[in-house]
Amino acid sequence: MLSKIRVITLCVFSYYTFLKRTIANKGYKSEIDKMIFYFCSMNKKIAFYTLGCKLNFSETSTIGRQLSVVGFEKIDFNKKADLYVINTCSVTENANRKCRRIIRKAKKIAPNSKVIVTGCYAQLKPEAIAEMEGVDMVLGANEKFNIPKLLSSNIKEEKIHGCEIENLDYHGSFSLNDRTRSFLKIQDGCDYPCTYCTIPLARGKSRCDSIENIIKNAKEIAKNGIKEIVLTGVNIGEFEDKNDGRNFASLINELEKVEGIERYRISSIEPNLITIEIISFVKQSEKFMPHFHIPMQSGSDAILGKMKRRYNTKLYREKINAIAKSIPNVCIGADVIVGFPEETEEEFDKTLHFIKDLPISYLHVFNYSERENTEAIHFSGVVSKQKRAERSKQLRILSEKLQRKFYQNYLDTEQTALFEKEDREGFLYGFTDNYIRVKIPFSKEFLQQKLKIKLLSFDENANILSKVI
C-alpha cells in the first residue's frame, strides 16, 4: 500500500501537470514549468566527464551547480546515472577519439540514460556527434549553460542546439568542491591567428568578464573554504575589463586583496603578454605563487613563423630569463608542439638546444594534430606520425630530467605546501609555492591545509617525500 506521503506527492504532481498542460495549451509560459521540472529532477542522478583544459573544468563545475539547484544529484561518472554530460575538447584528434569512447562507456554503464555532449568538439562538429550512437543532445558553446532550460522545454526533441560563433556570449564560471584548487575563468575565446589551432573556431573571439564579477566569484570560492585559485581562460594575458578597460595587471592587484584566498596561480600566459609590471607584482606578492606556464611551441624561428606565433625565440628567451632573474625560486613550465609541418631534424634540434639553454622546469609536450579548417592542414612538409612520436618521447624524457633537476635544488630545504584532501595509499599529496609535488604521511589534521614542510627524498614517481615541521 502506498504511504500517505507518496499519495500526496502523486496528487501534487498530477495537479501541476494539469496546470502546465492548461497553460501550454493557451500558449503561455510560466514558473510552473520550472516547478514541474524541479519536481521531476528530484532524486535523479547526473554524472560529468570533462576533457581538455582547466577552462573546461571550471565550466563543467558551474553547469553541475546549475543542475543541482534544479534537483539533480551529482555522482561519479563510473556509476549509474540518469543523465551524463560530456564536456569535450578539440585540440587534438586523440581528444575527439576519447569523446567517442566516453559516450560508449556511459551507455554501457546505464543503457537507459540520456547523454548530452557539449564543449569545443560539439561546437565544431555537432552533426558528427549527433550521429553517434547513444547521444541525445548536442550543445554548442552558448547552450551548455542552458541545460536546465533545454531539458525542461519542449524543444528538447531537437538534437542539436547551437549558435554562430560570432554570436557567443560570455559566461563566467569557476569550479567548486572538485579539487583542492578552484579554476576561476576570467577570459574566453582568442583573437590570435595560430595556423594549427581550432580554439577561435570553437570558442570565438576574445572576451572577458569584469573585474567586479571576478572578485565576486573569488569571494564565493573563499566562502567555500578553498584556499587556492588558478586563473584560467584561453588567452588570459589579453584580459581587459569589459566595463572600464583595466588590464590583467589591474586584475591581479585586486585579487590580492580578497580575504580567505591564500594562493593564486596564473595558468598559462603568452610570452608576448608578460610585462615587467606582472613580473614585478608576482615577485613581491604574498598570494601569487612563483610559478609561470608560458607556451613556447617551438625553439625554431622558422617554425614559429609558420605557426604565426606572436613572438620569436629572442623575445621568448628575454621573458624567461627576466622572470628567472627577478624571481630566483620560480618554476617555469612550457608547452611544446612536435612534428609541425616542415619541422626537419635540424629545426627540431634547435628546439632541443633552445630548451636546454633556458631555466625551464618542466614541459607539456603535444604531437602536432591536423585539424580541419586550419591553415596548417594545407602545409607541405608533413612529418610522419612515427617521427612525431619519436620526437615527443625525446622531449618527455628531457622534461623528466628538467623537473628532477629543478626538484633536486630544493631537497633538504623548508617550503610551504598546500595538500589535497584525499588519502592516497597512506599519503597526502600537494604542491609547494613553486609547484614541486610533495607527499607526507596521511593525517586527518593535514587535510587541505597549508603547511611548513621539509623536503627529504624522491619516491619512485619523482614526487618528494617530506615531513611537517
pLDDT at 330: 98
pLDDT in the model for residue 373: 92
Does residue 379 register a pLDDT over 70? yes
Assigned CATH topology for domain 170-289: Transcription Regulator spoIIAA (3.30.750)
8 A C-beta contact, residue 209 and residue 187: yes
Whether pLDDT at 27 is above 50:
no
Contacts of 220 (CB under 8 A, 6+ apart): 174
The pLDDT of residue 20 is above 80: no
Residue with cell 580567505: 260
CATH no. for 414-468:
2.40.50
Would you give the distance in Å from CA 232 to the centre of its chain?
7
pLDDT given at position 397: 98
Mean pLDDT confidence for 357-365? 98
Domains 43-163 and 170-289 fall in the same CATH topology:
no
Share of the chain above pLDDT 90, in %: 71
DSSP collapsed to 3 states, the chain = CCCHHHHHHHHHHHHHHHHHHHHHHCCCCCHHHHHHHHHHHCCCEEEEEECCCHHHHHHHHHHHHHHHHCCCEEECCCCCCCEEEEEECCCCHHHHHHHHHHHHHHHHHCCCCEEEEEEHHHHHCHHHHHCCCCCCEEECCCHHHHHHHHHHCHHHHCCEECCCHHHCCCCCCECCCCCCEEEEECEECCCCCCCCCCHHHHHCCCEECCHHHHHHHHHHHHHCCCCEEEEECCCHHHCECCCCCCEHHHHHHHHCCCCCCCEEEECCCCHHHCCHHHHHHHHHCCCECCEEECCCECCCHHHHHHHCCCCCHHHHHHHHHHHHHHCCCCEEEEEEEECCCCCCHHHHHHHHHHHHCCCCCEEEEEECCCCCCCHHHHCCCCCCHHHHHHHHHHHHHHHHHHHHHHHHCCCCCEEEEEECCCCECCEEEEEECCCCEEEEECCHHHCCCEEEEEEEEECCCCCEEEEEC
CA distance 384 to 393: 14
Residue identified by cell 600537494 is: 430
| Mean pLDDT, residues 99-112 taken together | 92
For 68-83, what is each residue's pLDDT tens digit? 888 899 999 999 999 9
Average pLDDT over residues 427-440: 95
**pLDDT reading at 414 higher than 70:** yes
pLDDT per residue over 186-239, tens digit each?
A: 999 999 999 999 999 999 999 999 999 999 999 999 999 999 999 999 999 999
Residue 46 has pLDDT above 50, yes or no: yes
Greater confidence, 15 or 322?
Answer: 322
| The pLDDT value given to residue 38 | 47
Which pLDDT score, from 0 to 100, does residue 421 have? 67
Structural domain boundaries in the chain:
1-41, 43-163, 170-289, 414-468
Cell representation of residue 413: 630545504
Q: Which amino acid is at 135?
A: V
pLDDT in tens, 243-269: 999 999 999 999 999 999 999 999 899
Reference 53, options 24, 110, 91; nearest CA is 91
Phi, psi of 188 (to 5 degrees): -145, 160
The pLDDT score that the predictor gives to residue 97 is 81
Instruction: Please name the fold of domain 43-163.
Output: Rossmann fold (3.40.50)
pLDDT of residue 376: 97
